[in-house]
Amino acid sequence: MRLAAAFFLLTFTALYFMGTPMPQAAEEKSASSANEAGKEGKTNPKPQVKSKNPENGSVQVSTDRLEVNDKKREVTLIGKVMIRWEDVVLTCDRAKILYREIKTEQKQSEKSEAAPTGSDQGQNPGAGDEVLSHEIVRIEAEGHVKIVRGDQVALSGRAIYKPQPRIIILTDSPQVWRGKDLLTGSRITIYLDQDRSVVESGPDSRVNATFY
């Protein structure tokens, strides 16, 4: 999966306003806007990010707080986290998205479409022949983790998603339902491409299954 550069521009903007004190005038304006919104019955939405993924559709993220660390190449989501990709929906208390940077050559047609109206054809200010994008290498979730995919529902304390080879690893009292059937163990690995799950026991627990 790839996250476009717009993803991190939005997240950096959100992080800036959350972590930087606002001038007095801006505070008064913000308070005024909040009062007006309150009169109309509106509330400020949680930070949301929707990133384009040419190969697998899109990745949508919603959370109470979002932090970006470019040095570590990671995005931290805190509070009522929701991550949606393909046919998978993951919710949890806290998540961390690790990514890597990828440079790709921009096609002439893409540069023409990106050029502002009235500008010379093929010119895209600030973007040369290479486009910097981001690819997810790992998603780590913890705290009341819930994963839904079709008729399959998984609950656990912790979960790790690896795009390559597209597996989800559940630990900390994992449980997986498919319809009424239930699987429990110390560790459960879900293979998304193969539509199968592997349940492992631990030192103090055995694999348990209930089938209907």
| Average pLDDT value for residue range 50-68 | 72
Cβ proximity of 77 and 103 under 8 Å: no
Q: Can you give the pLDDT at residue 13?
A: 36
- Band (pLDDT 50/70/90 cuts) for residue 36 is low
Q: For residue 111, is pLDDT > 90? A: no
Mean pLDDT of the chain, nearest integer: 76
Q: Can you give the pLDDT at residue 113?
A: 59
Which is more confidently placed, 12 or 100? Answer: 100
Which is more confidently placed, 144 or 41? Answer: 144
Q: Can you give the pLDDT at residue 103?
A: 76
In 3D, which of 117, 8, 111 has the Cα closest to residue 66? 8
Q: Can you give the pLDDT at residue 102?
A: 81
Q: Can you give the pLDDT at residue 134?
A: 76
Q: For residue 148, is pLDDT > 80? A: yes
Least confident of 32-46, 152-166, 194-208: 32-46
